[in-house]
Amino acid sequence: MMKGQTGATGRPHMTSTHYSIFSVLREALRGHTGWGPAWRNAEPKPDYDVVIIGGGGHGLSTAYYLAKNYGPLRIAVLEKGWIGGGNVGRNTTIVRSNYLLPGNIPFYELSMKLWEGLEQDLNYNAMVSQRGVLNLYHSDAQRDAFARRGNAMRLHGVDAVLLDQAAVRKMVPFLDFDNGRFPIHGGLLQPRGGTVRHDAVAWGYARGADRLGVDIIQNCEVKGFIRDGGRVTGVETSRGLIGAKKIAMAVAGSSSRVAAMAGLRLPIESHVLQAFVTEGLKPFIDGVVTFGAGHFYISQSDKGGLVFGGDLDGYNSYAQRGNMPVVEDVCEGGMALMPRIGRVRLLRHWGGIMDMSMDGSPIIDKTPVDGLYLNSGWCYGGFKATPASGYCFAHLIARDAPHPVAAAYRLDRFATGHAIDEKGMGPQPNLH
Amino acid sequence: MRIACPHCGERSLDEFLYSGDATVKRPDFAGTTAMDDFVTYTFERTNPPGPHRELWYHAAGCHAWLVVTRNVSTHAVASVELARDVALAAKSATKDSAS
Amino acid sequence: MTAAPIGYGRQSNRLASGGLIDRSKTLHFTFDGKTYAGHPGDTLASALLANGVVLTARSFKYHRPRGILAAGSEEPNALVELRDGARREPNTKATVAELFDGLTATSQNRWPSLAFDLLSINSLFSPVFVAGFYYKTFMWPAALWEKLYEPLIRRAAGLGRASDDADPDTYEKATAFADVLVIGGGPAGLAAAQAAARTSARVILVDENAALGGRAVDDASEIAGNPAHEWVKMLEGELSRNPEVRILRRTTVFGSYDGGTYGALERVSDHLPHPAPGAPRQRLWRLVAKKVVLATGATERPIVFGGNDRPGVMLAGAVRTYVNRYGVVPGQRVVVFTNNDYGATTASDLVRAGADVVALVDSRPEISDHVYRITNETGVRLISNAAVTDALGKRHVTGADIRLGDGERIELACDLIAVSGGWNPNIQLTTHLGGKPVWNDRLHAFLPGAVPAGMSLAGAVAGDLTLAKSLAGGNAAGSAAADESGHKAIAVPVPTAIAESDAVTPLWRVIGYKGKAFVDQQNDVTEKDIALAEREGFRAVEHLKRYTTLGMATDQGRTANVNALAIMAELTGRTIPETGITVARPPYSPVALGALAGHHRGKSFKPTRLPPSYRWAKEQGCVFVETGLWLRPSYFPRPGERDWLETVTREVNTVRNAVGICDVSTLGKVDVQGAGAAAFLDNIYMNGLKTLTVGKCRYGGMLREDGILMDDGTVARLGENHFFITTTTANAVKVVQHMEYCAQWLWPELDVQIVSATEQWAQYAVAGPKSRALLQKIVDPAFDISDSGFPYLGVGEITVCGGIKARLFRLSFSGERAYEIGVPARYGDALIRRLMEAGEEFGACSYGTEALGVMRIEKGHISGPELNGTTTPQDVGLGGMVAKKKDFIGSVLGKRPGLVDPDRPSLVGFRPVDRSARLRSGAHFLARDARPEAANDEGYMTSVAYSPSSGHWVGLGLLRRGPERLGEIVRAYDPVRGADTLVEVVSPVFVDPEGGRVRG
């Protein structure tokens, strides 16, 4: 698992390329001087079979699965900044497949299955941690809605357990069961849900794709599309023209901007979603808990920080930050649910830009422009979708036909009346 | 963010609800392209990164709908108008150009 | 007499005089169970140092002994659990915790004790535990991650422990407005506040410390020829006499937000054993300012060398703060290590305090006159062109390894190494809104780039690192800010200060050290970790941070980030600005979640809305249920009834056979008036309303523009241009918003006015065959409510009980003859009492939402579960109501193929084949013989009830092509509750399908 390379110093040395406890121990003995870059910082070539715009989680996973499942292909990932700098690096790390609608469940369940095998597949420990996702209910109506959801999940072969109050109390005894404004009646648990170390997902896919020959090109901003008749043939970038047989957009947060360069208007608004982390604490929250009567969900990272979030700020935004009303609203939810965290301190809060679609569900589809493929509209479900999004998008790009589990994510579903509206909020993106 | 409601003065963000793009216009239901027009009107957005004309509702105030021009990359508010005034002006402009 | 506990009262490092503490009072506190003494004005850190305690903590990863590095909120090491029990505050910086009598503090992240920590064994494995090692290991075998590896990692996670109990203290929120907000009460901020306050401007001055003065007091500088603290006192007096000035002490502005809004946290009671009665622990401020003067100063940066984390290595400015502000000399034998003139001044202060300054190690080959003058005056040994390569010692510093300019190494014994590597302006609040800092080549530091609108800079944060420039800059910024906020500036003289040099020759790290050299002390990120990150390609500053966790600790890397960036720049041969910038995210220093939540916890999390009959219902022993913000009567148990089902059954039977009364005030009520009202409503309802005559009601539905049902309710026409509509409880607010949108934006030309009247009217349903007889007793005789005079769907404005204005609607949700009677809300309580009294002779009962729900399900009426935002009118059996020719919201998009697909699940009724079986909503429908898998899913049960009228459970549900399948037996599959029930598809109307009863 070691091979000779020429290092930056010009001297040949041995680099460790396979990750394992043995390579770590070996490197420990020599001051870790034998590790090479996790991925090459590639220079753009004049043309590729597939150019993927966006070096976030979805772009990188698309490149990985495209190379792995449909190669050999000459593939480049173009990233305007540094890879993993978008929402894969600024989310609350939750993975789950506890969806309601048939358009969504199989897709997110494929994603869960890919998460479950990800580390061995990538030889990269992204700390996929299945400690459970618990959604609390506070009324009979909410219980029945969760039962409907849990039953839908079970029909799709997904794990779902409806818990009563006693069972929830046993799992998370420190919630405000006795003095809450909205009593906790129980919860819907997906035991296989959990969290993943978010940055590591981008790095793991980047390293995996790189090892399959994908060029990952950072600091390369796409400025426009080169077109030949109705077809795209390449991109103009800050680092020159790059030709491509097929061009795939995976730029959630910037989808409208990039699509506009191809003359497309999308069913998407950009919204800011804030996320929060506290100072590190000795672990006391095992899984993910979601408050059903306020805008609040929480988990505790392997470093000890409480990681939590809530609702969108609610207005169109391309600024990666939010405002105080939502900060306060989210913390109010937190204190209402678990009053023991009153003296725990918020360490940082930040915002990410969400592609909010008109029904709250994503789009993985061809566009009306030949050769141009679209992966967008992830709302705030993008992180958990990362593996399946790349897997299905790669299928679409390679085969020119949707992967069966992503077949509902059509761009024209709004025109035909086939919205996938989990929350029933209609074409009001900030309510999804 | 603070929005200067023409009725109530400058108020904090918490008093307002956001509804979205104020540049789209509800089409004629009887037009021959009504279905396409309504699909475009209801679902497609330009979603520009800079100045954006958008609808806000003074929910915890006077219940006025407002057209706010705001830079969505900096959140700087450039202007606030009553939606009714904007809509009436647009209708009279349409009428004028038709006549 | 018992022996005094160890440490008691010694304060061996306390100076006999000096500092701003109150030596006349002694406070006692404990650290790790030992009792010590300190004085008012101390922080926990200064008091510990006074008592000679230098070991305060263990590091996060390697469990190395750690002491106190700083004297402010940038402290990375000295984190303790402050207080205990329900008030336990983990990760509290000892440097900002003010001392109070009885304070208890406990060290964290060590076992069994701070001095002997078994997990310091991690240090032995440090060659393995380098940055990113997690990502490379723990993958085999996969099953062990959840079972073994991760639990081990989680056991080591975190520092302090959150309290086990609910926070017993309260928090407040407040908003204040200012013409000029001055952030920072050091010399620049005070000068700015003075200049601004001399105008008529409203000024708010905020400082994070208990006492104003900042570095001028910490450094014991002179201002206008007097000790700085005297000038500060004079200025405080002037400001506090000015009614337009508010001084917020112990208040940290933690974030910049849009529109000139700043978040600030005031620690009202943290310096007390517990809050005074009625006082909050902390207060969250929203400060809204026209102009802001940012005067946040600068944070001293360390120099990275071997063992630089040993207890006894301290920032030079902190050393001076302890000496000058607290009268504590933190070491007896001191080596000062610096790359700028501040080191010499520090040595001077230490000598004055009686410490033995062993050497001043100055990395610069060229030494300034200032340094020569001080070393001559004090006799301190100057070692120039040299560097401390290693701090020696284990649990505290015992010496310094020094490399001289010629390469020779010497070792000097010492117990304190004071380090000054220059200053990083505290620019965080300028970056929160996206402002990018700019590198200053003279100061070797980042200065603010674009600042938030309305903000100006003064003092160190503006790059004015000397006192004289700070005072002048503050004065000018304060005047200008007042002027720009519309308050004419008045010239205020600038106080004088001694000239200083702010020159610095950068030195980020020392080469050739032996021990571990830490860049981020709290997260145990070493210089070698940065080199490893570089080697592995994590060169972008964000990659560096995320890969090594640099800057992610509770201090947000305030003493780490710039050094790290500089080291990465050196490793990659780039300049620092090419390598990256440091932008901060709010909060500037961590904020308690309790403060951000304020009083919104427990029962006060959200407001509680009480319906008009609440008090009466409570007297009856009613069981209430949360319905949104409302607390609605759910059912009214009577003595002897065994469970809710028996009660609800009795209530239903009473309505169906006699009469019942239900508070329906929570339904949304909207008054719509104007010459355009009829046309307007016709635009927003899917059914025609133009033909609705005065004095009549009609059931109506509203769609969203995408053709999905939004809400249903009734429309009553009270006059030609006067309508009164009802909405569902859940959508009351939303419908008003929608109607305002339609009126103001879509059809502004229509003359229509809309006002919510939900809370203005108390409204009761009076339902059952005897409802008219009951009402007859309270409706004033002038009004004819006979079936001919007041038929089904009639509405009238009447009076009741002798002249009380009321509205009567003949509407029915239960399917019985029924009315809704509304009176102004203030009569709500009286009316329910009168109705019940009048109903006594008919056997009337009150009923709640449960019985209401049962009866609507028996009648097949839709409600929340069917109006779930995804159903069309056709789906729920209302297709016939939809107007074909008019334009209305949703008219076009409702015709999209996906919405008119006959395969869509549509509303039908269900009854169990085994009549004793219970039904549950949320069960999915499968064809009788179909396997339970997704492909066979045909819809789901939306609502169920035990139907007293049928004698068994009944349900409503959405079934694929439901209305075509009446009589079919299907499975109601409910695996999450372990149920699988055969049900028969039937009409959704279980009671009185002909509808005769409502008409009487």
- Please give the full DSSP string across C614-677, using - where no structure is assigned: HHHHHHTTPEEEEETTEEEEEE---TT--SHHHHHHHHHHHHHHS-EEEE-TTSEEEEEESTTH
Q: Which residue, chain included where needed, has tokens 């860049």?
A: C519
Structure confidence by residue, pLDDT tens digits, A189-222: 999 999 999 999 999 999 999 999 999 999 999 9
| CA distance to partner chain A, nearest, from residue C906 (Å) | 16
Question: So what's the pLDDT on residue C117?
Answer: 87
Q: Are residues A300 and A247 in the same domain?
A: no
CATH number at residue C332: 3.50.50.60
* CB < 8 Å to A128, chain C: 145
Is A235 part of any domain?
Answer: yes
Mean pLDDT, residues A1-28 taken together: 64
| Nearest one of C238, C180, C240, C184 to C213, comparing CA atoms | C184
Query: In the structure encoding, which two tokens stand for residue C321, read together?
Result: 């703060």
Is A203 part of any domain?
Answer: yes
C849/C952 Cα distance (integer angstroms): 19
Among A268, A316, A418, the strongest candidate for a mutation testing the B interface, having the largest count of B CBs within 10 A, is A316
| CA distance to partner chain B, nearest, from residue C388 (Å) | 46
Q: Are residues C648 and C780 in the same domain?
A: yes
Q: Which amino acid is at C218?
A: D
Is C859 part of any domain?
Answer: no
Q: Are residues C335 and C256 in the same domain?
A: no
Query: In the structure encoding, which two tokens stand for residue C944, read together?
Result: 């169920």
| Nearest one of C81, C138, C146 to C107, comparing CA atoms | C81
Phi, psi of C644 (to 5 degrees): -60, -35
Q: Are residues C160 and C206 in the same domain?
A: no
Which residues constitute the domain of residue A303? 114-192+270-357
Is C994 part of any domain?
Answer: yes
Cis, bond preceding C587 (omega within 30 deg of 0) = yes
Is C860 part of any domain?
Answer: no
Cis, bond preceding C141 (omega within 30 deg of 0) = yes
Of C261, C434, C740, the CB nearest to B2: C261
Q: Are residues C478 and C522 in the same domain?
A: no
Is A425 part of any domain?
Answer: yes
pLDDT at A16 over 90: no
Q: Are residues C319 and C368 in the same domain?
A: yes
Is A377 part of any domain?
Answer: yes
ipTM over 0.95: yes
Is C874 part of any domain?
Answer: no
Q: What is the mean pLDDT of each run of 10 residues along chain C (1000 residues)?
A: 46 94 96 97 98 95 96 97 97 98 95 88 84 87 84 88 96 98 98 97 97 96 96 97 98 97 98 97 98 98 98 98 97 97 96 97 94 96 97 96 95 98 97 96 95 97 97 98 96 93 93 96 96 96 95 94 97 94 91 98 97 98 96 97 98 98 98 97 95 96 98 97 97 97 98 97 98 98 95 97 97 97 98 98 98 98 96 97 96 98 97 98 97 98 97 98 98 98 98 92
Is A41 part of any domain?
Answer: no
Interface of B with C (CB under 8 A): 1-2, 12-13, 17, 19, 26-27, 29-30, 34-35, 38-39, 41-42, 55, 57, 59, 63-65, 74-77, 82-84, 87-88, 91
Q: Which residue, chain included where needed, has tokens 């002038």?
A: C782
Q: Under an 8 A CB cutoff, do C554 and A141 touch?
A: no
The domain boundary residue, chosen from A332, A357, A382: A357
Structure confidence by residue, pLDDT tens digits, A376-406: 999 988 999 999 999 999 999 999 999 999 9
Dihedral of CA atoms A398, A400, A401, A407 in degrees, nearest 10, equals: 90
Among B7, B12, B53, B72, the strongest candidate for a mutation testing the C interface, having the largest count of C CBs within 10 A, is B12
Is C854 part of any domain?
Answer: no
Structure confidence by residue, pLDDT tens digits, A288-333: 999 999 999 999 999 999 999 999 999 999 999 999 999 999 999 9
Local structure of residue C304 (DSSP, 8 states): B
Of C259, C748, C896, the CB nearest to B84: C748
Q: Are residues A242 and A256 in the same domain?
A: yes
Of C157, C604, C900, the CB nearest to A303: C157
C362/A133 Cα distance (integer angstroms): 56
Q: Are residues A353 and A371 in the same domain?
A: no
Give the per-residue SS3 of C47-93. Answer: HHHHCCCCCCEECCCCCCEECCCCCCCCCCCCEEEECCHHHCEEEEE
* CB < 8 Å to C857, chain A: none
CA angle C659, C664, C667 (to 5 degrees): 150
Among A129, A282, A308, A340, the strongest candidate for a mutation testing the C interface, having the largest count of C CBs within 10 A, is A282
Total number of domains constituting chain C: 7
CA pseudo-torsion sign A323, A324, A325, A331: positive
Q: Are residues A142 and A177 in the same domain?
A: yes
pLDDT at A9 over 60: no
Question: So what's the pLDDT on residue A11?
Answer: 42
Q: Which residues contact C838 (CB under 8 A, 6 or more apart)?
A: C774, C777, C778, C844
Is C879 part of any domain?
Answer: no
The domain boundary residue, chosen from C568, C587, C606: C587
C244/C291 Cα distance (integer angstroms): 15
Q: Under an 8 A CB cutoff, do A260 and B46 touch?
A: yes
Phi, psi of C18 (to 5 degrees): 90, 165
Tell me if C550 sits within 8 A of C544, measured CB to CB: yes
Which residues constitute the domain of residue C78? 1-168
C580/C575 Cα distance (integer angstroms): 9
Cis, bond preceding C365 (omega within 30 deg of 0) = no
Q: Are residues A251 and A281 in the same domain?
A: no
* CB < 8 Å to A334, chain C: 593, 597
CATH number at residue A389: 3.50.50.60
Q: Could you please report the per-residue DSSP string of C332-376?
A: SEEEEEESBTHHHHHHHHHHHTT-EEEEEEE--SS--HHHHHHHH
Q: Are residues A287 and A188 in the same domain?
A: yes
| Nearest one of C750, C733, C485 to C609, comparing CA atoms | C733
| CA distance to partner chain C, nearest, from residue B65 (Å) | 6
Total number of domains constituting chain A: 3
Q: Which residues contact C840 (CB under 8 A, 6 or more apart)?
A: none
Q: Under an 8 A CB cutoff, do A267 and B72 touch?
A: no
| Nearest one of A201, A178, A195 to A121, comparing CA atoms | A201
The domain boundary residue, chosen from C572, C587, C602: C587
The domain boundary residue, chosen from A329, A357, A385: A357
Question: So what's the pLDDT on residue A144?
Answer: 97
Residue in chain B nearest A416 by alpha carbon: B39
Q: Are residues A261 and A373 in the same domain?
A: yes
Q: Could you please report the per-residue DSSP string of C753-821?
A: EEEE-TTTEEEEEEESTTHHHHHHTTB-TTS--STTTS-TTBEEEEEETTTEEEEEE---SSSSSEEEE
- Please give the domain boundaries of chain B with CATH numbers for all domains: 2-98 (3.30.2270.10)
Q: Which residue, chain included where needed, has tokens 């000295």?
A: C78
Q: Are residues C672 and C747 in the same domain?
A: yes
Q: Are residues A172 and A313 in the same domain?
A: yes
Q: Are residues C241 and C351 in the same domain?
A: no
| Nearest one of C701, C681, C703 to C692, comparing CA atoms | C681
Q: Are residues A17 and A160 in the same domain?
A: no
Question: So what's the pLDDT on residue C125?
Answer: 83
Tell me if A331 sits within 8 A of A325, measured CB to CB: no
CATH number at residue A295: 3.30.9.10
Q: Are residues C351 and C383 in the same domain?
A: yes
Q: Are residues A347 and A306 in the same domain?
A: yes
Q: Are residues C14 and C140 in the same domain?
A: yes
CATH number at residue C571: 1.10.10
Of C434, C740, C749, the CB nearest to B88: C749
Q: Are residues C8 and C111 in the same domain?
A: yes
Task: Compute the 3-state secondary structure of chain A and give helix, strand, coil in percent, each to the nearest 5.
Answer: 30, 30, 40
CA pseudo-torsion sign C661, C663, C664, C665: positive
Cis, bond preceding C448 (omega within 30 deg of 0) = no
CATH number at residue C100: 3.10.20.440
Is A107 part of any domain?
Answer: no
CA pseudo-torsion sign C917, C921, C927, C931: negative
Secondary structure (3-state) at A116: helix
Is C650 part of any domain?
Answer: yes
Q: Does B34 touch chain A (CB under 8 A)?
A: no
Q: What is the pTM of this model?
A: 0.96
Question: So what's the pLDDT on residue C146?
Answer: 81
Is C144 part of any domain?
Answer: yes
Q: Are residues C74 and C137 in the same domain?
A: yes
CA pseudo-torsion sign C570, C576, C580, C581: positive
Q: Are residues A118 and A184 in the same domain?
A: yes
Is A42 part of any domain?
Answer: no
Q: Are residues A21 and A118 in the same domain?
A: no
| Nearest one of C909, C912, C917 to C958, comparing CA atoms | C909
| CA distance to partner chain A, nearest, from residue C916 (Å) | 21
Is A103 part of any domain?
Answer: no
Q: Enumerate residue ranges in chain B where pLDDT < 50.
A: none
Phi, psi of C30 (to 5 degrees): -125, 145
CB environment C868-882: b (16+ within 10 A), e (fewer): bebbbbbbbbbeebb
Q: Are residues C183 and C107 in the same domain?
A: no
The domain boundary residue, chosen from A357, A384, A417: A357
Among B5, B74, B88, B95, the strongest candidate for a mutation testing the C interface, having the largest count of C CBs within 10 A, is B74
pLDDT at A8 over 70: no
pLDDT at A108 over 80: yes
